[in-house]
Amino acid sequence: MACEFFDDGRLARCGAVDGLLIPSHHERERYCRSSDGSAACPTLKLYQLRGGPVPQAIYYAQWIPPAPATTVAKRDAVHLPIAV
């Protein structure tokens, strides 16, 4: 049976998340539509822990890994001219 929060209508929406969130193809096939996968869904577990809908910022934080520290450091580095 599909996840109780999955609305497979025109936009394939996840009702466990605040607002209009359309799960990725991976999420839909692995968790939303799967008969046994919805119990393992990280979003569903977070919904149950919070006792209500998950804010989108928290939803994306669980699915999108943070940038590596070296990438952030290089981006934020200040390059000063060197006098020779």
Which three-class secondary structure state does DSSP give residue 71?
helix
Instruction: Give the model's confidence band at 76: pLDDT under 50 very low, under 70 low, under 90 confident, else very high.
Output: low
Question: Would the pTM count as exceeding 0.85?
Answer: no
Q: Is residue 68 part of a domain?
A: yes
Q: Is residue 1 part of a domain?
A: no
pLDDT at residue 53 greater than cutoff 90: yes
Q: Which residue has the higher pLDDT, 26 or 38?
A: 26
Q: Is residue 17 part of a domain?
A: yes
Q: Is residue 84 part of a domain?
A: no
Could you tell me the residue range of the domain that residue 54 belongs to? 6-76
Q: What is the structure's pLDDT at 49?
A: 93
pLDDT at residue 66 greater than cutoff 90: no
Q: Which residue has the higher pLDDT, 81 or 17?
A: 17
Domains in the chain, number: 1
Q: What is the structure's pLDDT at 18?
A: 93
pLDDT at residue 71 greater than cutoff 70: no
Cβ-Cβ contacts under 8 Å for 20 (sequence gap 6 or more): 11, 13
